[in-house]
């Protein structure tokens, strides 16, 4: 079929009538499907159930240094957990701190501490006239919610398949001392599934910010979340690059096992320079006497090492890969050549990014909800929930079963077509 924009008004009207009929038939099915968040499916959670058995009533619950993991102490993580998540983060154990179950919580704490007490002795952000953050878009909505919560002004930076527009990043960071940070999901990014190129990573490491307390919030959430063995994206290691160019303090590198073991009961970590980690420990000594060491211990005893993590993630991939392929194949079959949408085909991560015709995303998501399919609201991938072109939609294939997902994607396709035809008819009528 030819592109929708080439159709005559009568052809569009006939197409609209057919799509309206299909839409009403879908509504009559009474569907209730959820593609709103990037959550692991039950089958993925089942992969980690053996972790519940590695610690039992008569087990030795001491870490390798002899510390009883049931008790207080060891605020920055037991040694074996630092080795495990250090290997996952591609850093030495001495360059990492282990936290509780959520890296998002660590990021929130880091922003809060910067607001109230500053970064490494610099002026607390709350005492400044203006604080700004760079936000690659489309991006991760929960990142943007943190900076919005603290009243930090957010500046959109366009994403490319190589990473953020680094010409823009360099110009802004080097010219405005009110810019204190940038959010990054550098590998299998949320939502496009892009991985930053080596050149992008090197340019990040060489940034010369006007603000001495500027930090890159490097959220490496999907570092081992590959869909394929034969094709895996490579991400240049940022901390070592920063150290080599004499810029060691510019980056905080976050990670967690949230989508490796149990999202509600994983372990999180931050890797950084010694100066940054010392700064973190100052507030940690006040905030806690120690995170959940039993949880750290059971992760280590279950996964054992980096090879164990990789083998576990192959099992995850076997579950979610067919879901990604089914979504991509359906979009290819139903929408290719129509000129009404573009979508990414990632090799890892948790999302597919879909760009509709300008001005159609809200309508598509609204139609899907009316038809019984809940999706992340249009605009969520932009600061303040405002997509200036109203076109980006995040597709989250992991949580539904394959059968449910197939139904949901077919509904989505009809909604894309219907919203696009409506938009083109309005243009012709105008």
The owner of tokens 């600061």 is: 383
pLDDT band at 123 (very low <50, low <70, confident <90, very high): very high
CB-based burial of residue 317 (10 Å sphere; 0-12 exposed, 13-18 middle, 19+ buried)?
A: middle
Architecture of domain 4-44+310-429: Alpha-Beta Complex (3.90)
What phi and psi, each to the nearest 5 degrees, are found at residue 356? -85, -175
pLDDT at 1 over 80: no
Contact by Cβ (8 Å): 373, 35 = yes
pLDDT tens per residue across span 296-320: 999 999 999 999 999 999 999 999 9
* Residue ranges matching CATH 3.90.1150.10 in the chain: 4-44+310-429
In sequence order, which residues have a C-beta less than 8 Å from that of residue 168 and are 6 or more positions away?
157, 158
Question: Per-residue pLDDT for 183 more than 80?
Answer: yes
Question: Comparing C-alpha atoms, which of 416, 327, 425, 406 is closest to residue 366?
Answer: 416
CB 165 within 8 A of CB 203: no
**216 touches 247 (CB < 8 A):** no
With 0-12 / 13-18 / 19 or more C-beta atoms within 10 angstroms meaning exposed / middle / buried, residue 376 is buried
Give the DSSP per-residue string, 88-132: HHTS-GGGEEE-SS-HHHHHHHHHHHHHHH-STTSPPGGGSS--E
* Antiparallel, parallel or unpaired: β 251-256 and 268-271: antiparallel
Q: What is the DSSP string of 24-70?
A: HHHHHTT--EEESS-PPPHHHHHTTGGGGGSS-TTS--B-TTS-BTT
Predicted confidence at residue 37, as pLDDT, reads: 84
Residues of CATH 3.40.640.10 domain(s) within the chain? 62-304
Q: What is the pLDDT of residue 2?
A: 85
Mean pLDDT, rounded, of the chain? 97
Q: Give residue 428's pLDDT.
A: 87
Query: If you average pLDDT over residues 147-169, what whole number do you get?
Result: 98
Reply yes or no on whether the pLDDT at 245 is more than 80: yes
Write down the pLDDT at residue 165.
98
- pLDDT score recorded for residue 36: 86
Token readout for 321 is 């890969």
So what's the pLDDT on residue 233? 97
Give the tens place of pLDDT for each residue, 36-49: 889 999 999 999 99
| Domain 62-304, second-level architecture | 3-Layer(aba) Sandwich (3.40)
* pLDDT confidence band for 20 (50 / 70 / 90): very high
């Amino acid at each position: 079929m030819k592109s929708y924009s080439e159709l005559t008004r009568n052809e569009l009207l006939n197409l609209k009538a057919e799509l309206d009929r299909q839409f009403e038939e879908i509504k009559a099915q009474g569907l209730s499907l959820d593609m709103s968040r990037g959550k692991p499916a039950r089958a993925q959670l089942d992969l980690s159930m053996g972790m519940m058995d590695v610690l039992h009533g008569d087990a030795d619950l001491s870490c390798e240094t002899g510390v009883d993991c049931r008790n207080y102490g060891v605020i920055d993580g037991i040694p074996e957990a630092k080795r495990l998540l250090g290997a996952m983060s591609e850093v030495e154990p001495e360059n990492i701190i282990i936290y509780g179950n959520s890296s998002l919580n660590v990021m929130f704490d880091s922003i809060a501490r910067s607001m109230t007490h500053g970064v490494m002795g610099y002026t607390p952000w709350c005492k400044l006239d203006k604080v700004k953050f760079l936000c690659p878009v489309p991006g991760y909505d929960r990142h943007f919610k943190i900076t919005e919560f603290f009243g930090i002004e957010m500046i959109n930076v366009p994403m490319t398949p190589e990473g953020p527009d680094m010409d823009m990043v360099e110009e802004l960071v080097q010219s405005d001392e009110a810019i204190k940070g940038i959010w990054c999901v550098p590998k299998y990014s949320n939502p496009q599934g892009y991985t930053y190129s080596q050149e992008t990573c090197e340019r990040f490491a060489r940034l010369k910010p006007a603000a001495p307390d500027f930090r890159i919030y490097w959220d490496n959430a999907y570092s081992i979340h590959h869909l394929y063995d034969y094709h895996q994206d490579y991400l240049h290691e940022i901390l070592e690059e920063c150290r080599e160019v004499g810029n060691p303090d510019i980056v905080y590198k976050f990670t967690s096992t949230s989508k490796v073991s149990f999202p509600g009961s994983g372990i999180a970590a931050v890797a950084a320079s010694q100066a940054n980690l010392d700064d973190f420990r100052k507030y940690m000594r006040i905030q806690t006497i120690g995170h959940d060491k039993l949880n750290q211990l059971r992760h280590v005893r279950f996964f054992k090492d980096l090879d164990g993590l990789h083998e576990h993630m192959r099992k995850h991939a076997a579950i979610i890969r067919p879901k990604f392929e089914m979504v991509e194949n359906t979009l290819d079959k139903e929408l290719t050549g129509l000129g009404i949408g573009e979508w990414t085909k990632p090799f890892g991560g948790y999302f597919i990014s879909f760009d509709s015709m300008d001005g159609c995303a809200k309508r598509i998501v609204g139609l899907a909800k009316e038809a019984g399919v809940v999706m992340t609201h249009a605009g969520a991938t932009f600061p303040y929930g405002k997509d200036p072109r109203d076109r980006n939609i995040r597709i989250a294939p992991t949580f539904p079963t394959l059968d449910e997902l197939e139904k949901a994607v077919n509904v989505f396709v009809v909604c894309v077509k219907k919203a696009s035809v409506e938009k083109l008819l309005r243009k012709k009528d105008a």
